[in-house]
Amino acid sequence: MAKADFYSVLGVSKGASADELKRAYRKLAMQYHPDRNPGDKAAEAKFKELNEAYDVLKDDQKRAAYDRFGHAAFEQGGGPGGFDMGGMGGAGLGDIFDQMFGDFMGRGRQQRGPRAGADIRADVEIDLQEAFAGAKRTIRVQTRVACEACNGTGSENKERGSDVCSTCGGHGRIRAQQGFFLVERTCATCGGSGRVIRNPCRICRGAGTVARERSLQISIPAGLEDGMRIRLAGEGEAGGPGAVPGDLYVHVAIRPHPLFQRDGAHIHCRVPLRMTQAALGGEVEVPTIDGSVAKVKITPGVQTGDQQRLRGKGFSVLNSAARGDMFIHLQVETPQHLTRRQRELLEQFDAEGAKNTKHHPQSEGFFAKVREFFEGEKG
């Protein structure tokens, strides 16, 4: 059966540019890829045909030979043009598709070489004042460290830790032909590192690392927020022989404070006032997050919900010398457990207040609206 014209296979004209060829191949290869058409032999054959056509037309020399001699240019060991298609120029179908799509469907190439150490996590809890001022903590983590017996080489011979893997030739990957597909797998002999330990260390058994508990001192910067993490590069698990270590991520939790609530760079504090303080006014002392005391002037007649702002008395800003503001939320407290004398005085005060609506403008305004409402209902 005669082969289809390569230009027709890709659905482009004979004068198509390199970009047009690439776009056409990309679209059709995605459509007919075997992973998207499991068990479809026709799609599989089409995908093979697309790869063969694109491999020729994307190469200027092969394309010139094809334009002149057609399919004959690649038959009989190369034909007039001297091109050899055996193995498609050294690139399998998987190679062509990988070059075009990279990590398509999560099958990106694995990097060969020693396996890097794993990242590890630690958790630490601090109080709000430590988050404001910054703190230092000593933490203990279970991790893997370089084996002292073999200096992390994994070999009894400290000077020569490993040899090139004879199975994969140091590539860490093995290629095998399955039908017209070239499948690549991690080398089982070396685990993808490309090297093998000839005489494994008796302590770490060739791993180059051993399990240990480590103590580390960490610095928590001022202004850190709850849930943030600190990255300590290279303080994670040690990698295999010749590999870089992982990182340590410290997740910081901040305990609630009995007086202050944090809102980013601002601090909120609820301050209760005696009824007489609210009515007469005065001055109250309020603690701040930095440990000092601020004097707050109370205007006579303040109400619950009124607030005052103390600029620059709030929380630290991360990586800055600036500070936010502190908001004082006033709450008028109703007295409880009155003595007989206190009750008499309040009754007298209430009787005097009833004669003058100026003392309770909000109450008077509310009940005036209530009267208007019911009068309107009757009308």
Residue 112: count other Cβ atoms within 10 Å of its Cβ: 19
pLDDT for 251: 95
User: Within this chain, do residues 353 and 277 fall inside the same structural domain, yes or no?
Assistant: no
Residues 17 and 125 in one domain: no
pLDDT of residue 367: 62
The Cα–Cα gap between 331 and 278 comes to 9
Residue 163 pairs with which residues in a beta bridge?
A: 196
Q: Residue 31, Cα to own-chain centre: how many angstroms?
A: 33
- What pLDDT sits at residue 97? 52
Q: Are residues 236 and 265 in the same domain?
A: no
Quote the pLDDT of residue 81.
39
- On whether residue 247 sits in a domain, the answer given is yes
Do residue 32 and residue 131 come from a single domain? Answer: no
Domain boundary among 199, 233, 256: 256
- The confidence score (pLDDT) of residue 360 equals 66
218 and 124 within one domain:
yes
The verdict on residue 165 lying in a domain is no
- For residues 209 and 364, the model is more confident at 209
Distance CA 236, CA 214 (A): 10
Q: What is the CATH number of the domain that holds 146?
A: 2.60.260.20
Task: Tell me: pLDDT of 79 over 90.
Answer: no
| Model pLDDT, residue 182 | 67
Residue with tokens 């020693």: 114
Provide the pLDDT for residue 68: 82
Per-residue model confidence (pLDDT) at position 194: 80
CB atoms within 10 A of CB 176: 9
Give the integer Cα–Cα distance in Å for 354 and 53. 99
CB atoms within 10 A of CB 216: 15
User: Would you state the torsion angle of the CA atoms of residues 194, 198, 201, 205, taken in this order, to the nearest 10 degrees?
Assistant: 60
User: Is the residue at 159 inside a domain?
Assistant: no
Structure confidence by residue, pLDDT tens digits, 186-236 = 888 877 778 788 788 888 888 888 999 999 999 999 999 999 999 999 999
Position 350 confidence tier, pLDDT thresholds 50, 70, 90: confident
Q: Confirm whether 81 is domain-assigned.
A: yes
3-class secondary structure for the chain?
CCCCCHHHHHCCCCCCCHHHHHHHHHHHHHHHCHHHCCCCHHHHHHHHHHHHHHHHHCCHHHHHHHHHHHHHHHCHHHHHHCCCCCCCCCCCHHHHHHHHHCCHHHCCCCCCCCCCCCCEEEEEEECHHHHHHCEEEEEEEEEEEECCCCCCCCECCCCCCCEECCCCCCCCEEEEEECCEEEEEECCCCCCCCEECCCECCCCCCCCEEEEEEEEEEEECCCCCCCCEEEECCCCCCCCCCCCCCCEEEEEEECCCCCEEEECCEEEEEEEEEHHHHHHCEEEEEECCCCCEEEEEECCCCCCCCEEEECCCCCECCCCCCECCEEEEEEEECCCCCCHHHHHHHHHHHHHHHCCHHHCHHHHHHHHHHHHHHHHHHC
User: One-letter amino acid identity for 296?
Assistant: V
How large is the greatest C-alpha to C-alpha distance in the chain, in angstroms?
A: 121
Q: Is the pLDDT of residue 76 over 60?
A: no
Residue recorded with tokens 């799609």: 43
> Is residue 306 domain-shared with residue 284, that is, in the same domain?
yes
The CATH number of residue 39's host domain is 1.10.287.110
More confident residue, 188 or 360: 188
Confidence of residue 161 (pLDDT cuts 50, 70, 90): low
Q: Are both 217 and 232 inside the same structural domain?
A: yes
What pLDDT sits at residue 75?
62
Range of the domain at 373: 340-378
Q: Do 63 and 136 sit in the same domain of this protein? A: no
The mean pLDDT of the chain is 82
13 in any annotated domain: yes
pLDDT of residue 78: 45
The per-residue pLDDT for range 300-310, each reduced to its tens digit, is 999 999 999 99
Query: For 250-292, what is each residue's pLDDT tens digit?
Result: 999 999 999 999 999 999 999 999 999 999 999 999 999 999 9
pLDDT value of residue 178 = 63
Q: What pLDDT score was predicted for residue 363?
A: 62
- Does residue 37 sit in the same domain as residue 101? yes
What does the pLDDT read at residue 366?
66
Residues facing residue 135 across a β-bridge: 220
CA 255 to CA 158: how far, in whole Å? 49
Q: For position 82, what pLDDT does the model report? A: 40
* End residue of a domain, out of 39, 73, 106: 106
The number of domains in the chain is 4
Q: Retrieve residue 141's tokens.
A: 């983590």
State the pLDDT confidence band at 39, using cuts at 50, 70 and 90: confident
| Of the residues 256, 284, 319, the one at which a domain ends | 256
Specify the pLDDT at position 352: 80
Q: Per-residue pLDDT tens for 83-109?
A: 444 333 444 444 555 555 544 444 444
Clarify whether residues 117 and 59 are in a common domain.
no
CB 154 within 8 A of CB 240: yes
Binned at pLDDT 50, 70 and 90, residue 312 comes out as very high
Is there a domain that residue 177 lies in? no
Whether residues 41 and 98 share a domain: the answer is: yes
How many CB atoms neighbour CB 115 within 10 A? 17
Q: What is the pLDDT of residue 157?
A: 75
Whether the predicted model's global pTM rises above the 0.85 cut: no
- Residue 148, Cβ density class (10 Å: 0-12 exposed, 13-18 middle, ≥19 buried): exposed
303 and 345 co-located in one domain: no
Residue 174 lies in a domain: no
Write down the pLDDT at residue 287: 94
In the Cβ-directed half-sphere of 166, how many Cα atoms lie within 13 Å? 2
| Residue 362 within a domain | yes
Q: Quick check: 260 and 269 in contact, CB under 8 A?
A: yes
Give the pLDDT of residue 34.
78
For residue range 108-129, list pLDDT tens digits in order.
Answer: 444 455 678 899 999 999 999 9
Give the pLDDT confidence score for residue 224 in this predicted structure. Answer: 93
What is the reported pLDDT for 249? 94
Residue linked to tokens 């403008």: 361
